[in-house]
Amino acid sequence: MTTARKNTLTKEIVSQAIIDAFKKLNPAVMIKNPVMFVVEVGTVITLLLSIWPDLFVASTVGRGYNIAVFLILLFTVLFANFAEALAEGRGKAQADTLRKTKSETMAKLVQKDGSYKQVSSTQLKKGDVVRVDTGEIIPTDGEIIEGLASIDESAITGESAPVIKEAGGDFSSVTGGTRVASDYIIVKVMTDPGESFLDRMIALVEGAKRQKTPNEIALTTLLAVLTLIFLIVIMTMVPMAQYLSVKLDVATLIALLVCLIPTTIGGLLSAIGIAGMDRVTQFNVLAMSGKAVEAAGDIDTLILDKTGTITYGNRMASEILPVKGVSSKEMILSALMASVKDETPEGRSIVELANKLGESWAEKEYKDAEAIEFTAETRMSGLNLASGAQIRKGAVDAIKKHISAKGGRIPSDLDDIANRIARAGGTPLAVAAGDRIYGVIYLKDTVKPGLKERFAELRGMGIKTIMCTGDNPLTAATIALEAGVDDFIAEAKPEDKIAAIKKEQQDGKLVAMTGDGTNDAPALAQADVGLAMNSGTMAAKEAANMIDLDSDPTKLLSVVAIGKQLLITRGALTTFSIANDIAKYFAIIPAMFILAMPQLEALNIMHLASPTSAILSALIFNAVIIPLLIPIAMKGVKYRAMSADRLLTRNVLIYGVGGVIVPFVGIKAIDLVLQVLNIA
């Protein structure tokens, strides 16, 4: 998989693209691109003129001229088709690699009586339950409902290191085609045949379901209107020429039309869009549509989770601090009891720290205890003992409310301890047993290096960054300052994320966010760009319009850069294409009317050898510039983090001014070659 992504241009891909370029000459395919369809119609007409020169009107040029125009126009269309086919070919190569991964496997379907039945993976449907043991391939997408296992996802992500998946929580989703490296899991099937993650990925990367983005549709419409305008202009030139007693051949009129219409961007537009999605795929991100990639380039606000995105997310217990009137031993034992059935990394770290401090609790002492899971609403977890005692740990304000509801007393130094931890950038967890608060656990996390600089780049581009965290305001403020984000939302609940997204959108801004849990799904669906982690739940992946196969939340920053590169590339090549026309005017228009109006010789600033040479030189340049720009369309214009005004100025200078100068040099060079070859 990794190899397929890196070797994006192979001999096989190029060979197939050449074949596909001829296949795409089908008018039913070409009509989807109005500009190139007009060029193809002109190609057919000049082919007929090459056979019957006097087909429409008496010809004043030789058959050789008509043949030359026909061949140049044919190659213009073929070069445009080749650019699109080359972009599609890279996606198809990735799809072929994925198809090898997606092989039909046998699955152990769990029956109602608990027995197993061997069935083909293609027979599995949503709701079925299967067992997958060590070394076996997971037959289809699903959620783990029992067990914990190490999963080898290298067939999908290209990464060799296995990941741990377990029932419950945000890391229970598994993908068909991956392999269980150790232990076993019971999986509930979440998709019907043909709808799995791999099926969708294959369809998307090979472009079978590619839909044009809104910006691409708008630009295609603009190009079609420009083509229609120039077609009307050419038609009005015929009576003008008759009035001036100038005879214009049909082949010359077609040549002028092809040079006037924006053939360069018309030929490369589709390739730019396909290549943009392909670049996202090379980053191990699956975009559900080109619209998502395009929207990423227009993002105004980034909403990021703190844990795992801005910080490493491995919050570990650093200290266990009692309040006044509570001994260290009592506090450590309470923290241990609150965490003994907490299988999260934080819970395990509290147990380990308590053990290091000399406290332990035999399993028989809590075997009948009821584990209370953490929820976003309560922001607490703990145990209900068989004796009726309740032990809780959680956010300080949540524990205070819990104790107040029981009529308990809030220790006077509780807030001081919590604030001291928060100011240090840590997370304070209060611990309570019954109606009494025993103390605070200090959880430490670390901000990822380099993020402050990346957020500064985003700020320079006018993108606002907002950090969402369940931490208290003091901790959130400390982390926000250290990371360099513009704003933060503390003690955030799922509905707070949606509210933040809607608020930004009501101000006319486009919003992007990352998430991996079921409670992130509504916000991912609300955001203009929702990036879900592949390790997350199926609900999150279904709600998002992008999925990160590497499950790296900071990937969103790269996705934004790719989206901006796509928009910049399209804008730069459109500017270059339109600027190109200036040189063509100076080449063809004097050549057409110079016999009737010798004064037009003043416009022949390139001193082209003859009218025939001028027309052919402009046409040849118009054709060859398309393949010369294919590498830029495929790779994209190099993106630099700067404001929109600076980007516009830079691209106008490079691609606008360059688009004016390059054709003058190119057309004159072709004219000199034609003179040497004595062709025109």
Question: What one-character DSSP code corresponds to residue 653?
Answer: I
pLDDT at 74 over 90: yes
pLDDT at 462: 82
Is the same domain home to 231 and 267?
A: yes
pLDDT at 399 over 90: yes
pLDDT at 86: 82
pLDDT at 492: 81
Highest mean pLDDT among 168-177, 427-436, 469-478, 544-553: 427-436
Amino acid letter, residue 147 = G
Give a yes or no: residue 108 inside a domain.
no
pLDDT band per the 50, 70, 90 thresholds, residue 401: very high
Range of the domain at 180: 125-192
195 known member of a binding site: no
pLDDT at 283 over 80: no
Closest of 471, 479, 474, 427 to residue 321, by C-alpha: 427
Closest of 275, 359, 307, 301 to residue 468, by C-alpha: 307
pLDDT band per the 50, 70, 90 thresholds, residue 615: confident
pLDDT band per the 50, 70, 90 thresholds, residue 241: confident
375 known member of a binding site: yes
Is the same domain home to 151 and 259?
A: no
Of the three residues 523, 549, 575, the one that is the final residue of a domain is 549
Give a yes or no: residue 6 inside a domain.
no
Name which residue leads in pLDDT, 203 or 330: 330
Contacts of 326 (CB under 8 A, 6+ apart): 438, 439
491 known member of a binding site: no
pLDDT band per the 50, 70, 90 thresholds, residue 5: very low
pLDDT at 43: 94
pLDDT at 4: 36
Closest of 480, 39, 420, 71 to residue 265, by C-alpha: 39
Give a yes or no: residue 103 inside a domain.
no
487 known member of a binding site: no
The interaxial angle of helices 11-23 and 63-101, nearest 10 deg, is 130
393 known member of a binding site: yes
For the whole model, what pTM was predicted?
0.65
Is the same domain home to 162 and 233?
A: no
56 known member of a binding site: no
CATH code assigned at 182: 2.70.150.10
pLDDT band per the 50, 70, 90 thresholds, residue 251: confident
Is the same domain home to 602 and 637?
A: yes
Highest mean pLDDT among 163-167, 239-243, 482-486: 482-486
Is the same domain home to 403 and 456?
A: no
Highest mean pLDDT among 51-65, 477-491, 596-610: 477-491
Of the three residues 412, 443, 474, the one that is the final residue of a domain is 443
pLDDT band per the 50, 70, 90 thresholds, residue 191: confident
Mean pLDDT of the 294-301 span:
85
Handedness of CA 225, 17, 89, 569 (dihedral sign): negative
Give a yes or no: residue 119 inside a domain.
no
Q: Which residue blocks in 357-470 are alpha helix, DSSP H?
A: 396-405, 414-423, 451-460
Report the range of poorest mean pLDDT among 18-27, 241-250, 376-385: 241-250
Beta strands per DSSP E along 300-435:
301-305, 316-322, 370-372, 380-384, 390-395, 427-433
Give a yes or no: residue 659 inside a domain.
yes
Is the same domain home to 439 and 362?
A: yes
pLDDT band per the 50, 70, 90 thresholds, residue 2: very low
pLDDT in tens, 90-136: 666 666 665 655 556 788 999 988 888 988 888 888 889 999 998 88
Report the range of poorest mean pLDDT among 88-92, 140-144, 228-232, 408-412: 88-92
Is the same domain home to 215 and 255?
A: yes
User: Per the structure, how many domains does the chain have?
Assistant: 4
516 known member of a binding site: yes
Give a yes or no: residue 494 inside a domain.
yes
Task: Match 């608020």 to its residue by tokens.
Answer: 503
Mean pLDDT of the 275-299 span:
78
Is the same domain home to 243 and 305?
A: no
Is the same domain home to 356 and 427?
A: yes
Mean pLDDT of the 64-68 span:
88
pLDDT in tens, 406-421: 888 999 999 999 988 8
70 known member of a binding site: no
342 known member of a binding site: yes
Give a yes or no: residue 22 inside a domain.
yes
Is the same domain home to 377 and 404?
A: yes
Name which residue leads in pLDDT, 605 or 415: 415
Average pLDDT, the chain: 82
Say how many C-beta atoms besides its own lie within 10 A of residue 355's C-beta.
13
Is the same domain home to 580 and 543?
A: no
pLDDT at 169: 61
pLDDT in tens, 147-169: 888 888 776 665 556 778 888 76
Report the range of poorest mean pLDDT among 211-215, 458-462, 483-487, 561-565: 211-215
pLDDT in tens, 202-212: 665 555 445 56
Mean pLDDT of the 596-605 span:
71
Give a yes or no: residue 635 inside a domain.
yes
Question: Is residue 63 within a helix (H) or strand (E), and if so which, with residue range?
Answer: helix 63-101
Of the three residues 136, 170, 192, the one that is the final residue of a domain is 192
> How many angstroms separate the CA atoms of 535 and 359, rounded?
35
Is the same domain home to 84 and 222?
A: yes
> How many angstroms separate the CA atoms of 515 and 547, rounded?
10
CATH code assigned at 328: 3.40.1110.10
pLDDT at 97: 60
pLDDT at 200: 66
pLDDT in tens, 81-92: 998 888 777 666
DSSP string, 231-285: HHHHHHHHHHHHHTT----HHHHHHHHHHHS-HHHHHHHHHHHHHHHHHHHHTTE
520 known member of a binding site: yes
pLDDT at 258 over 50: yes
Catalytic residues: 305
Highest mean pLDDT among 49-53, 368-372, 392-396, 419-423: 392-396
The whole-angstrom distance between residue 672's C-alpha and the CA centroid of its chain comes to: 46
> How many angstroms separate the CA atoms of 119 and 123, rounded?
7
